Chain A
Amino acid sequence: MENILLLITSIIYLLAFAAGLFRQRGISLYAMYLGIAVHTALIITRTVLAQHLPLSNVYETVLLLTWLLQIRFIFFQKQVNIQIIHFQRILVILLLLLPMFIQPEFRAVRPLMPEYKNVWMYIHVLTDLMAYVFLFSGFVLAFTDLFAPKKIFPYDKHMDTDIRIAMLLLSCGLLAGLIWGQISRGSYWSWQPKEIWSLINIMILSLYLHMKDRHLRSIIVVVTVLTVLFTFIGLGLGS
């Protein structure tokens, strides 16, 4: 059931992207809404099956992250031009394809580990996911800024807002993670790879605040997204 819904969601998003490429804006938009509806059904199904919010492993968090991203991009659509919209849609499709490559044992519904039964875990993961949404949103603009053949329009203000919000949310997420670690395991910081890379993400993004040059800022955003993907997927698989 879940796999079918995931497949349908991906196909609808692909269709919406294809319709957008052929300048069928109306069809593309309605397909997007339909895709979001199926995506929502997928998340609800997972929540019911797992009997907890889908935040306990990479598969579940990718489902939620892509859903949040899609919502963010839908609201953002009127402010950007079609090339940015195409890129946003590709990004969501690529991220949504990731769960298909995750091994079944990492996707299976499992009872929550004892340390996950803590309100701070939910606050930590949700805050980090929201940070990733803003970071990816800024990344689309930074990537376009770096690689688009011509300047589409100045995105500095949008990118700046997104990255600043991402920076704050990442810091809050880290703080929530520290509190969660202290309450559940008695250790707010134990130099585990995931903790270290969460700090690295914030430190790299903090460099953004010190830069004046637009291209350097865009490069930092791209690098941060790469390190976030490594932290989120590379180190998060199986946890």
Chain B
Amino acid sequence: MVRVIKYIYAIMTVVLLILFAVGSFMTPEIFTSVFFIILYVLYALTLLVFAFFIPGLSKKVPYLLIACLIVGVIVEKSVNTRSGITMGKGGTYFFDTGRDTLDLELLAFTITRGTSPSQPQVEYESRILFNKKDTFCIRVNHPLRLEKARIYQSNYKNISPFMICYQDTLRIFEGQTAEMSGTPLTFVSYDPVLRRAAVRYNEVLFYLPVGRTHTFLNNPITIIPQSPELATVLEYVETRGHTALLLIALLSIVSLIFSMVKRK
């Protein structure tokens, strides 16, 4: 029996190795697909069964902990919310997570560059008005700490905001940018040749003409693209269970050391 489990463990390790190697040249999303999640769970189960059959507590513990780590990461990734926030200067973002209510306004975004303009940026910073009362500076390595979440300075980019001229009675386009999330309607892209803007509304794509009046959802509207502006990219990340995961990872390494020393 032990031998069979050992073979299954070895085969699964090799299969995962090959899939990881091949998948590393593809899009990262495949590693969070259902197929891979089933594989991770199966691998964790194999480790648990393997740990059950091998003799000696010092050998069992590393396998048990690594299995816990795999399951822990899957649970953490599925339970915790991540959300990208892109805002130009003066832009606002409202997000109700159920636990936190985020009302953010970008007061300023600054990039401190190196001595030469061709050199990469050395620091970038977002000054944020949080829930209409407190002002915070968010920088890389210095996130805004909430009770069970953090807001990180992730990146920056140029965005082209679209201005809706008149009769947007539903106010659905107000302040919309290409990357804004959290509303049923999102701006997707702009084709400068056809002069059409692609917008997604309830998972349906609409290609709307830009620069002239058009009827959309029974509302006559005019979309006018504005010149690109620099926007900050923040990331809202829930951090529940992170300390426990870190502890399990640390214990795994300690148990590995202990197991190796004992084996020698």
Residues of A within 8 A of B124 (CB): 114
Contact, CB under 8 Å: A196 / B152: no
Residue of A nearest to B257 (CB): A168
Contact, CB under 8 Å: B24 / A193: yes
Q: How large is the interface on B (under 10, 10 to 19, 20 to 34, 35 or more residues)?
A: 35 or more
Contact, CB under 8 Å: B152 / A185: yes
Contact, CB under 8 Å: A190 / B28: yes
Contact, CB under 8 Å: B141 / A118: yes
Residues of A within 8 A of B6 (CB): 210
Instruction: Compute how far the CA of A196 lies from the CA of B246 in the bound complex, rounded to whole angstroms.
Output: 19
- A28 CB-CB contact with B under 8 Å: no
- B123 CB-CB contact with A under 8 Å: yes
Say which residue of B23, B122, B154, B252 sits within 8 Å of A196 (CB atoms).
B23
Residues of A within 8 A of B140 (CB): 114-115, 117, 184-185
The proximity string for B residues 111-152 relative to A, scoring 1 for CB distances below 8 Å and 0 otherwise, is 000110001111110000000000000011101000000101
The proximity string for B residues 238-256 relative to A, scoring 1 for CB distances below 8 Å and 0 otherwise, is 0000100010011011001
- B17 CB-CB contact with A under 8 Å: yes
Distance of A225 from chain B, by nearest CB (Å): 16
- A175 CB-CB contact with B under 8 Å: yes
Distance of A215 from chain B, by nearest CB (Å): 17
| Residue with the greatest number of chain B CB neighbours at <10 A, chosen from A118, A171, A186, A204 | A186
Say which residue of B16, B28, B73, B260 sits within 8 Å of A164 (CB atoms).
B260
Instruction: Compute how far the CA of A120 lies from the CA of B252 in the bound complex, rounded to whole angstroms.
Output: 19
Residues of A within 8 A of B250 (CB): 175
- A197 CB-CB contact with B under 8 Å: yes
- B1 CB-CB contact with A under 8 Å: no
Residue of A nearest to B253 (CB): A171
Distance of B263 from chain A, by nearest CB (Å): 8
- B179 CB-CB contact with A under 8 Å: no
Query: If A114-B141, A115-B140, A168-B257 touch, does A197 touch B24 (CB 8 Å cutoff)?
Result: yes
Q: Give 9 closest A-B pairs by Cβ, nearest first.
A: A186-B152, A114-B140, A191-B28, A111-B114, A196-B24, A186-B237, A111-B122, A191-B31, A193-B24
- Contact residues of A with B, CB < 8 Å? 110-115, 117-118, 164, 167-168, 171-172, 175, 178-179, 182-193, 196-197, 199-200, 203-204, 206-207, 209-210
What are 24 of the A-B contact pairs (CB < 8 Å)? A111-B114, A111-B119, A111-B122, A112-B122, A114-B153, A118-B141, A164-B260, A167-B260, A168-B257, A172-B253, A185-B152, A185-B154, A188-B242, A190-B28, A191-B31, A191-B32, A197-B24, A200-B17, A203-B16, A203-B17, A203-B20, A204-B17, A207-B10, A207-B13
